[in-house]
Chains A and B, each alone.
Chain A
Amino acid sequence: MSQERGRIRITGYDTQTVDEREDLSDWEPELQSEEAKGRMYYAWQRFKGNRAAVFGLTVILLMTLLAIFARPIEIAGTTVQPFSIAPYSPSTHRYDVATQAPSAKYLFGTDWAGRDIFSRVLFGGRWSLSIGFIAVGLAVFVGVPLGAVAGYYGGWIDEAIMRLVDALYAFPFLVLAIAIVAIVGKGYWNMIAALVVVGWLPYARIIRGEILSVKENEYVTAAKALGARDRAVIFRHIVPNAMAPVIVQATLSIGSVVLAAASLGFLGLGLPPSSAEWGSMLSNSQQTLHRGQWWITLFPGLAIFAFVMAINLVGDGVREAFDPQSESGGTEGGFR
């Protein structure tokens, strides 16, 4: 929204395409809008050029790899992943090496049961990462259709869904999650359920907004004139277009979801106490602070911080990739 005097600005015009386009190419106009695909391609180009974002992405990939290869994975008895980066088992108790400060042998030190914190942090990444991706994925899965329905049909459906969204927005996420856990109990899937119940809201709003602004566009009317059914219209035309802001939101949300899951773990509302999930590890660390055992608090927290920071960098990068003119610095991302 910047107003620079005296300069005519044409927006939506990508100079890269022009530069790279061959003069005598076989480019042909197509009836089906390719905007969605095209946008993705160009967005990726822009993303690649953003050093911070690429750095973030690298960190994420690295952490994912570490989490996968930390300890062997077995599915139905067969070992799918045999590698074990973590030097020790994350769950074996050994009281003779309990609560030791970081050393060459135990990079991050050990906890009260003699467990190697480095190994636990690596292994614990599985919980945090999986919760982040799954919860956001499910939230998108819930929010997008609901928002699409609301936006497309309008009327009282729209009103009802949007009022529900407003009402759920009124509860601070953590308060609602705590209440949900109070009802359904603790556990991995219960926690994800709580995160999804609050998490779908932004996607509904985004999709609905996109649909409203696009509903009158020509290609939609054209498709309808050609007799396409409502559902086809929504899903084939509108949604692909609207995916860009959804992707932006989703990426930014992953960080908030992981933070929220860690908070729940910290409060003891998540996984069982001996779990290597980073938040739960921090909940155990509270009692050790005044004994000067700083390593029990520092490393799991750093892990959370590193992951969330990286995903936020990626999220910012994604947002700028899709909308390079946006000047906003405020992270609208995820939950409040």
Chain B
Amino acid sequence: MTNQGRLTKGISRRNVLKTSAAAGAFGLAGCVDGGGGGGGGSADFGTLGANASTFDPAASADASSSSCIDLMYEPLVGFDFDLNPQPVLARDWERVDDTTFRFMLREGVQFHNGDEMTAEDVQHSIERYQGTVNTAVVASWYDSSEILGDYEIQLNLSQPYAPFLADLSGVSIVPAGTTSPADGETPLDDESQGTGPFQFDSWSQDDRFVATKFDNYWWGDVNDAGDFSGEAPLDEVNLRVVVDPSAQFNAIQGGDVNAINQVPPMDVPTVEDDGNLTLNRNDGITFDFLIYPVNSGPFQNEKMRRGITRMIPRDDIVGDAVFNGTAVKGSSPYPPILGDPYWDEDFEQRLLDEYVGEDVDAATTLLDEAFSEEGIEAPYQTEIRTNENPVRQRWCEVIANTLSETEYFEVSVNVMEWSSYVEFITGPAAETSDMVALGWTASADPDSFVYQLFATDQFTPNGYNINHYSNEELDSLMQEGQTTFGADQRGPIYKDIAEILAQDVPVTFLWHGKRLMATRDVISDFQVHPSASADYSGIYSPALGQEIEYDG
């Protein structure tokens, strides 16, 4: 899992048009509840919410591609289901000094082509990312590396960079010599060359992804295999492309698939009531947010932004209106799973009380002042732009409705198709006077929740600073956070960042979603990974302490 965050329903920065992650689009009702796969056909394992666009780790920028890739490729260091770093292809590492790290690699790890992994492959894998869509995975820290032996490599950082491990977890190890998308080649789209427990079998657009078990997976030879088997518990992973969450739901109820990766919050009670289904949940590393065009129109006024923020009915939305408790409201960008010292309840509550919590009286005062300072008349007309993601549409409607019911605003919801939406936010969004609704998926490091969104050098289209917000103090704090090691030292820095963001309100952080997946009873012990790009890592990730039992 890389430190580089991603707009939920991810986009590729460089070549936007190539995105095929059609976000939950046209409401498609699944067909009909049916007996498993019609007459004895075996059920597929799971679902993908959109087409995968590539199977090359260096080229993937969307969640579906990443979920497939995650089955076939591995990094040196991984983050487990509680977001703690674990050794995967590296069995150990040490921090020599602030800019030097040494990694000891496992021996006897085979790639899918039979070759053994060595330090040379690691070096090539890291450098392979340069010049690709995912160059940020290495560009923030990589300076050079030295091969100290077949199984030992030293990485030299260009600066002290705390999110380094998180970034490194996003580097998939491939054989040296594998050409790179930066050269225009995507050899891994046809054949996988990873170390993961599954290898690529086939891909059919709008239909399915198939991966088969890799018999020589390295865990079998490891000394401390523990409770986990040496190879994957199933021969084949079959993932169907089913865009609409309701269709996914119909599919699992009907027994057509055994796992789904999108459970609409509204269906949570139904899943819990169904004896054949298990609801798997975990905290996520995401947040939904509302972006204000801070450089245009009345939104330049901080009171305006804060007034709107104070109106937003988070409790309603997180509760009955939309999420049914599968999201937890947030005032800072950090989700609960980051834990101490980045997140604590008191701090969150304080931000809510002082700056951003729902408070209609405070909102009214702020808006009155804002309107008179900006010289605008009520009701002020504006739009919230969103894509077709049904849950997002819904909470946008709720917010728009809440604002429109006051005398201050007339807000409509502008639902855009995915590609237009992406094109809008990476382009002119900063100059319009519409609000934008968005979701953000980050990583295990707190930096990934703020840097790409708020730094001055991350203005779109270079980064994801969509409204071109610029704050020097924030920039230097973020810089400090990046270059300081040790959670205890970093904690206060990031809290300061959160406080500035709460005061300035360039965006309103709304809530943090939980990761929800559902599985049928043929699968036991499934876990959902907090990251949205490793949905099926719960199948078999012994290095992260997870494996299912499968009766399929």
Contacts and interface: CB of A to CB of B under 8 A. Distances in A.
A267 B26 contact: yes
B242 interface: no
Q: Which 9 A-B pairs have the closest CB atoms?
A: A286-B29, A287-B246, A95-B321, A95-B320, A286-B27, A93-B401, A274-B397, A95-B316, A290-B250
Contacts of B205: none
B413 A112 contact: no
B220 interface: no
Interface in B16-57: 26-30, 33
Given A267-B26, A284-B27, A274 B401 contact: yes
Interface in B319-340: 319-321
B321 A283 contact: no
Contacts of A228: none
Categorize the interface residue count of chain B: 20 to 34
Nearest to B317: A95
B388 interface: yes
A88 B497 CA distance: 45
A14 interface: no
A273 interface: yes
B267 interface: yes
Contacts of A286: 27-29, 246
A91 B410 CA distance: 13
5 contacts: A92-B401, A92-B405, A287-B29, A287-B246, A291-B266
Interface string A95-137: 1101000000000000011000000000000000000000000
Is chain A's interface secondary structure helix, strand, loop, or mixed overall? loop
Given A287-B244, A290-B250, A290-B270, 4 more contacts: A274-B413, A287-B246, A290-B249, A291-B266
Contacts, number: 65
A287 to B, nearest CB: 4
Nearest to A99: B266
Contacts of B412: 272
Contacts of B401: 91-93, 113, 274
Nearest to A291: B270
Given A286-B28, A287-B29, A290-B250, A273 B413 contact: yes
A301 interface: no
A100 to B, nearest CB: 12
Nearest to B30: A290
A79 B266 CA distance: 40
B483 to A, nearest CB: 45
A245 interface: no
Interface string A254-287: 0000000000000110001110000000011011
Max chain B C-beta neighbours (<10 A), residue from A92, A96, A112, A273: A273
Task: Count chain A CB atoms within 10 A of each CB in B264, B400, B401 and give the residue with the most.
Answer: B401
B394 interface: yes
B402 interface: yes
Nearest to A283: B27
Contacts of B245: 287
Interface in B236-253: 244-246, 249-250, 253
B390 interface: yes
A113 B394 CA distance: 9
A305 B319 CA distance: 36
A84 to B, nearest CB: 18
Most buried by A among B321, B393, B400: B321
A179 interface: no
B415 interface: yes
B304 interface: no
A112 B250 contact: no
Nearest to A266: B27
Contacts of A62: none
Interface in B36-85: none
A287 B390 contact: yes
Secondary structure at the B interface, as helix, strand, loop or mixed, is helix
Nearest to A274: B397
Contacts of B505: none
B279 to A, nearest CB: 15
B534 interface: no
Contacts of A93: 321, 398, 401-402
A181 B88 CA distance: 51
Contact of B415 (A272, A290, A291): A272
A302 interface: no
B33 A113 contact: no
Contacts of A283: 27
Interface string A128-162: 00000000000000000000000000000000000
Contacts of A92: 401, 405
Interface string B243-275: 011100110010000000000101100100000
Contacts of A272: 412-415
B98 to A, nearest CB: 51
Nearest to B386: A273
A291 B263 CA distance: 13
A40 interface: no
Contacts of B415: 268, 272-273
A112 B267 CA distance: 12
Interface in B398-443: 398, 400-402, 405, 412-415
Contacts of B30: 290
A289 interface: yes
A175 to B, nearest CB: 16
Contacts of B413: 272-274
Given A92-B405, A98-B321, A113-B397, A287 B266 contact: yes
Interface string A285-299: 011011100000000
B253 A290 contact: yes
Contacts of B26: 267-268
Contacts of A287: 27, 29, 244-246, 264, 266, 390
Contact of A289 (B29, B393, B397): B29
A98 B249 contact: no
A297 to B, nearest CB: 10
A286 B25 CA distance: 13
